[in-house]
Amino acid sequence: MKGTEAPGNAAFCGSRGKKILPGGSVVRHWTDTQVEQYQYTNAQLGPSACAPAGVLTCINMLSALPRDPASRMALTQGLVRLVRQRSCNCRHDTIASDSTCDVPLQMYLLSRSNCGGGGIVPIIDVVEAHCPDVVGAALIIGEHSPFEKGQLLDWVAQWMQDGAALTLTTNRQKFWDYEKKQRRLITGSMPDACHAQPIVGVDIEKREVIMANPVKSIAEEDVEATVASPPTLRIRGNEVLLHCEGVETTKISQFNWPTDAWRDADVSQQVLLLRKHFPGELWVQANKAFVTIPYAGTGKHVGPLLRLFAPRSSEAGKRILTSRDPTSYLISV
Ligand SMILES: [Zn+2]
* Closest among 42, 108, 142 to 267, alpha carbons compared: 108
Rounded distance from Cα 238 to ligand 1 centre (Å): 11
Tell me the pLDDT tens digit for each residue of 215-257.
Answer: 999 999 999 999 999 999 999 999 999 999 999 999 999 999 9
Q: What angle do CA 187, 59, 144 make, to 5 degrees?
A: 50
> Which residue(s) pair with 88 in the sheet?
none
Q: What is the DSSP string of 157-180?
A: HHHHHTT-EEEEEEEHHHHHHHHH
Rounded distance from Cα 86 to ligand 1 centre (Å): 9
Residue 33 shares a structural domain with residue 182: yes
In a domain, 330, yes or no: no
Rounded distance from Cα 52 to ligand 1 centre (Å): 25
Rounded distance from Cα 88 to ligand 1 centre (Å): 5
Q: Is 252 helix (H, G, I), strand (E, B) or coil?
A: helix
Q: Count how many residues are written for the chain.
A: 333
Rounded distance from Cα 108 to ligand 1 centre (Å): 7
Residue 286 shares a structural domain with residue 198: no
Show Cβ contacts of residue 184 under 8 Å, excluding neighbours closer than 6 positions.
none
Tell me the pLDDT tens digit for each residue of 127-175.
Answer: 999 999 999 999 999 999 999 999 999 999 999 999 999 999 999 888 8
Q: Output the CA–CA distances (angstroms, integers) from residue 203 to 72, 77, 164, 211, in the order listed.
A: 31, 33, 16, 11
Residue 52 shares a structural domain with residue 64: yes
In a domain, 98, yes or no: yes
Residue 288 shares a structural domain with residue 310: no
In a domain, 329, yes or no: no
Instruction: Say how many domains are in the chain.
Output: 2
Rounded distance from Cα 268 to ligand 1 centre (Å): 18
Rounded distance from Cα 240 to ligand 1 centre (Å): 9
Q: What pLDDT is recorded for position 315?
A: 96
Tell me the pLDDT tens digit for each residue of 18-61.
Answer: 334 445 688 999 988 999 999 999 889 988 899 999 999 999 99
The whole-number average pLDDT for the span 124-128 is 98
Q: Are 293 and 109 in contact (CB under 8 A)?
A: yes
Rounded distance from Cα 290 to ligand 1 centre (Å): 16
Reported pTM: 0.90
Residue 238 shares a structural domain with residue 314: no
Residue 146 shares a structural domain with residue 199: yes
- Secondary structure E strands in 212-264: 216-219, 232-236
Position 205 pLDDT exceeds 80: yes
Boundaries of domain holding 247: 88-116+232-294
User: Where residue 53 sits, what CATH number does that domain have?
Assistant: 3.90.70.30
Rounded distance from Cα 82 to ligand 1 centre (Å): 22
Position 17 pLDDT exceeds 50: no
Residue 57 shares a structural domain with residue 158: yes
Show Cβ contacts of residue 207 under 8 Å, excluding neighbours closer than 6 positions.
153, 219, 220, 221
Rounded distance from Cα 102 to ligand 1 centre (Å): 7
Average pLDDT score over the chain: 90
Nearby residues for ligand 1 (ion, Cβ within 5 Å): 88, 90, 101, 103
- What phi-psi label fits residue 304: left (phi over 0), alpha (psi between -120 and 50 degrees) or beta? beta
Tell me the pLDDT tens digit for each residue of 310-329.
Answer: 999 999 999 999 999 999 99
In a domain, 2, yes or no: no
pLDDT-derived band at 303 (thresholds 50, 70, 90) equals very high
pLDDT-derived band at 190 (thresholds 50, 70, 90) equals confident
Q: Output the CA–CA distances (angstroms, integers) from residue 235 to 13, 79, 108, 110, 280, in the order listed.
A: 42, 26, 10, 11, 20
